Amino acid sequence: MAEDCLFCKIFRREIPAKEVFRDEEVVAFEDIRPVAPVHVLVIPKEHIPSVHDLTPAHGPMLARMFQVANRIADERKIDREGYRLTFNTGPQAGQSVYHVHLHLLGGRTMGWPPG
């Protein structure tokens, strides 16, 4: 937990968010500035600044994050057409919040390469 971290505050419900899933380990919520018809963020309870700080011990938690994202993709009925799962990591990749978060993006065609 980090006192001044936006996503720690969302996990602790100190800042409101449109939650779509919550358990002991992870929370999923609507991105405040969606860039696709489906844009949900999945975050762990643990304050981990970026993917670059992950260790093998985080494996089960990461699997849980992907499982939750997949389940939301099923619920939003984008599982067949496809979706994108993204971890922006570091400044040049556009990471703006330094608490690990998985972007679930879908509902439109995604370009490649990304911008």
Binding interface with Zn ion (CB under 5 A): 2, 5, 7-8, 47, 99
Burial 99-114 (b: 16+ CB within 10 A, else e): bbbbbbbbeeeeeeee
- Residue 73 contacts ligand 5GP per CB under 6 A: no
Q: Which does 54 bind (CB under 5 to 8 A by kind): ligand 5GP, Zn ion, none?
A: none
Closest approach of Zn ion to the CB of residue 95, in Å = 13
Contacts of 18 (CB under 8 A, 6+ apart): 29, 30
- Residue 96 contacts ligand 5GP per CB under 6 A: yes
Q: Rounded CA gap, 94 and 64, in Å?
A: 24
One of 47, 58, 101, 103 is an active-site residue; which one? 101
Residues that are catalytic: 101
Residue ranges binding ligand 5GP (CB under 6 A): 6, 17, 29-33, 41, 88, 94-97, 101
